[in-house]
Amino acid sequence: MANPVLADRSTATPDKPGRRPRPGFGRRDHVVGWLLIAPALVYFVGFLLYPAIAALYYSFTDWNLRSSPSWVGLSNYTDLLFDDVKYPHFWKSVQVSLLYTVVAVPLTLVAALGQALLVNAIRRGSNFFRLLLFLPVVTAEAAVGAIWRWLYDPQYGLINVILGWFGVPPQNWLNNPDLVIPALAFISAWQCGISMIIYLAGLKGIPVSLREAAIIDGAGPVQRFRRVVMPMLRPTTFYLLVTGVIAALQVFGLVYVIFSAANKSVTGGPEQAGLTYVLHLYLFAFRYDAMGAACAMSFILLVFIMIITALQFKFVKQEAA
Partner 1 sequence: MSRRVAGAAAAIALIAGLTACGGGSDAGDTPTLTFWMYQPRTPQAGQIYEDLRKGFEKANNVKVKYVQIAKDDYNTKLSSAIASGTAPDAGVLDQPLVSRFALDKTIVAVPDGTIEESAYYKGALDTNLSEGKLFGLPLDQTTVGLFYNKKLVPTPPKTWDELKATVNQIHQADSKIAGIVVPKGDGYGAWMWPGFVAGAGGALTDDANKKVLFDQQPAVDTLQMWVDLLPSSPRQITDSDNAFANGLAAMMISGPWDVSTIKDQFPDLDFNVAPLPYKTEPAGNIGGENGVVFSTSKNAALAWKFLQYITSDANNAKFADAFGGYPTNVKAAEQTAATIEPQQAAFLEQLKVAHARPAVPQWIQVNDEIIAPALEKALSGKATAQQALTEAADKTRSLLGWNS
> Which parts of 204-233 interact with partner 1 (CB under 8 A)?
none
Give the nearer residue to partner 1 in terms of CB position, either 63 or 199. Answer: 63
Give the nearer residue to partner 1 in terms of CB position, either 38 or 52. Answer: 38
Nearest to 197 by CA among 112, 121, 295, 282: 112
> Which parts of 38-57 interact with partner 1 (CB under 8 A)?
38-39
- Residue 82: burial class (beta carbons within 10 Å; 0-12, 13-18, 19+): exposed
Q: Please tell me whether residue 141 binds partner 1 under the rule CB under 8 A.
A: no
> Which parts of 240-279 interact with partner 1 (CB under 8 A)?
259, 263-267, 269-272
By CB under 8 A, the count of residues binding partner 1 is 42
Q: How far is the CB of 261 from partner 1 (least distance, A)?
A: 10
254 Cβ neighbours under 8 A, 6+ residues apart:
141, 144, 145, 184, 187, 188
Q: Please tell me whether residue 175 binds partner 1 under the rule CB under 8 A.
A: yes
Nearest to 100 by CA among 238, 202, 310, 244: 244
Give the nearer residue to partner 1 in terms of CB position, either 44 or 128. Answer: 44
State the Cα–Cα distance between residues 250 and 243, nearest whole angstrom. 11
State the Cα–Cα distance between residues 115 and 181, nearest whole angstrom. 23
Q: Is the Cα dihedral 114, 120, 126, 130 positive or negative?
A: positive
State the Cα–Cα distance between residues 277 and 252, nearest whole angstrom. 8
Q: How far is the CB of 67 from partner 1 (least distance, A)?
A: 4
Q: 71 has which bridge partners?
A: 61
Q: Please tell me whether residue 174 binds partner 1 under the rule CB under 8 A.
A: yes
Q: Please tell me whether residue 10 binds partner 1 under the rule CB under 8 A.
A: no
User: Side chain identity at 101, as an amino acid letter?
Assistant: T
User: Side chain identity at 217, as an amino acid letter?
Assistant: D
Q: How far is the CB of 229 from partner 1 (least distance, A)?
A: 42
Distances (CA, A) of 78 to 74, 274, 278, 285: 6, 24, 18, 18
Give the nearer residue to partner 1 in terms of CB position, either 174 or 214. Answer: 174
State the Cα–Cα distance between residues 26 and 22, nearest whole angstrom. 11
Stretch that binds partner 1, among 26-34, 51-59, 102-110, 178-186 (CB under 8 A): 26-34
Among 3, 11, 155, 209, binds partner 1 (CB under 8 A): 155
Q: How far is the CB of 47 from partner 1 (least distance, A)?
A: 13
Give the nearer residue to partner 1 in terms of CB position, either 132 or 142. Answer: 142
Give the nearer residue to partner 1 in terms of CB position, either 170 or 182. Answer: 170
Stretch that binds partner 1, among 152-160, 189-197, 228-236, 302-310 (CB under 8 A): 152-160
Q: How far is the CB of 303 from partner 1 (least distance, A)?
A: 24
Instruction: Give the single-character DSSP code of 77.
Output: H
- Residue 168: burial class (beta carbons within 10 Å; 0-12, 13-18, 19+): exposed
Binding residues for partner 1 (CB under 8 A): 28-29, 31-32, 35-36, 38-39, 64-67, 85-86, 88-89, 149-150, 153-156, 170, 172, 174-175, 177, 259, 263-267, 269-272, 283, 286-289
